[in-house]
Chain A
Amino acid sequence: MIKMSVMIKVGMADLNVCEYPNSITTLGLGSCVGVALYDPVTKCGGLAHVMLPDSTAIRNNANIAKFADTGIVELVKRMEKKGASKIRMVAKIAGGAQMFAFSNSTDLVRVGERNVEACKKKLRELGIRIVAEDTGLNYGRTVEFYTETGMMTIKAVGKELKEI
């Protein structure tokens, strides 16, 4: 019997896990960051669409998938439930663009950059190595993550498909 693979979709401020042979995607990352985790032994992957850097800075923080700090921890937890091991996990991150060319530099303006920094910091704390990234600049990205190989593809308007 052929096992059909499906593409799991992760929305904004959302996360999900995904097991071989399925793949997982999130569409149109702007200043948000897509964090993909992968256990190459169990071929279990996970993807979080992080919107904001820090859950403790905001009162309205019920949705843990929205924040870099709580979202990544939750993603690790969910993957461990599927048999993945944190020690083996590696990460690939994409997004964190600055969509508008603002002339001043308030916190909102730098939010993409701050999201990327926060994701890196959390991953470092958890001892998860970032093996590839495609972050910053000024354009939106759609990412797809494949559990077969741990490959991430990045689509952007007017650009060639990128594999990291």
Chain B
Amino acid sequence: MAKINMDSMDSMQYDILKELGNIGAGNATTALAQMLNQKLDMKVPRVEMVGFDTLPSVICPEEELVVGIYLMLDEDVTGSMMFLMPERSAHNLVDQLMGRAMGSDEPFSEMDYSALQEVGNIITGSYLSALSSLTNLTIGASVPYVAIDMAAAILSVPAIEFGQLGDKALLIKTQFGDDVMIDGYFILIPALESYDKILSSLGL
């Protein structure tokens, strides 16, 4: 079995993780399109392994407001995952969901907040179910937790988690929408032995 080392992953392992990221993000977008009941275009996701110290700056300036949706994974794959959107994108998404005109700058209401939580549920759920059916692994997820704050502060949570595992995480940037593109980022932080499980379930 391939014992994976996050700091020196071979290109085959890397490609597989990237492909899993692609498929997962695709699934998530499809689910969201169904929820919004409209066609969504999607750009090819950009998948990369990033060091925790550069993570905040890869996504956006440290102090920019973002919405983070975070959940814990258990059963066959343990660890956590986060879905992150710049505040602007989150506003657009919620406006679309609520059937409002886009571009409102009002702070998120209680209702918007639970809509975001639901979006998080659907996006991360469909991402994980893609991962689960590809690998035949059972993946359990906690309820999604939502927080809105400075990007660096939100990202400190996954950064701390993978700071304990290795110094890199799998970052997937996805863009979807019709008129207005919405930016979203998946950050997948499985425990090290879960990487092994994922890769060996795919025959590596």
Contact = CB atoms under 8 A, between A and B. Distances in A.
Interface stretch (B23-31, B127-135, B161-169, B179-187): B161-169
Contacts of B56: 12, 28
Contacts of A66: 163
B176 to A, nearest CB: 24
B159 A140 contact: no
Contacts of A52: 160, 163-164
Given A139-B149, A140-B149, A28 B53 contact: no
A32 B160 contact: yes
Interface stretch (A80-88, A95-103, A122-130): A95-103
Interface residues of B, number: 30
A29 B147 CA distance: 14
A28 B145 contact: no
B167 to A, nearest CB: 7
B164 A99 contact: no
B164 A27 contact: no
A14 B156 CA distance: 13
Interface stretch (B8-16, B37-45, B61-69, B95-103): B61-69
Given A12-B56, A14-B53, A30 B157 contact: yes
B73 interface: no
Interface string A99-115: 11111000010010000
A102 B52 CA distance: 22
A143 to B, nearest CB: 12
A138 B154 CA distance: 10
Interface residues of A, number: 31
A40 interface: no
Given A12-B52, A13-B52, A100 B151 contact: no
A12 B145 contact: no
A30 B167 contact: no
A14 B54 CA distance: 12
A99 B156 CA distance: 9
B32 interface: no
Nearest to A140: B153
Contact of A28 (B146, B156, B161): B156
Given A11-B53, A99-B147, A139 B163 contact: no
Contacts of B171: none
Contacts of A102: 145
Contacts of B165: 60
Contacts of B153: 28-30, 97, 99, 139-141
B155 A30 contact: yes
A102 to B, nearest CB: 6
B163 A13 contact: yes
A118 to B, nearest CB: 13
Interface string A6-35: 000001111000000000000111111000
Contacts of A30: 149-150, 152-157
B83 interface: no
Contacts of A31: 156-157, 160
6 contacts: A28-B63, A28-B152, A31-B160, A63-B167, A99-B153, A111-B160
Question: What 6 A-B pairs come out closest when comparing CB atoms?
Answer: A140-B153, A28-B152, A30-B156, A30-B153, A27-B62, A100-B145
Interface of A: 11-14, 27-32, 51-52, 58, 60, 63, 66, 97, 99-103, 108, 111, 138-142, 155, 157
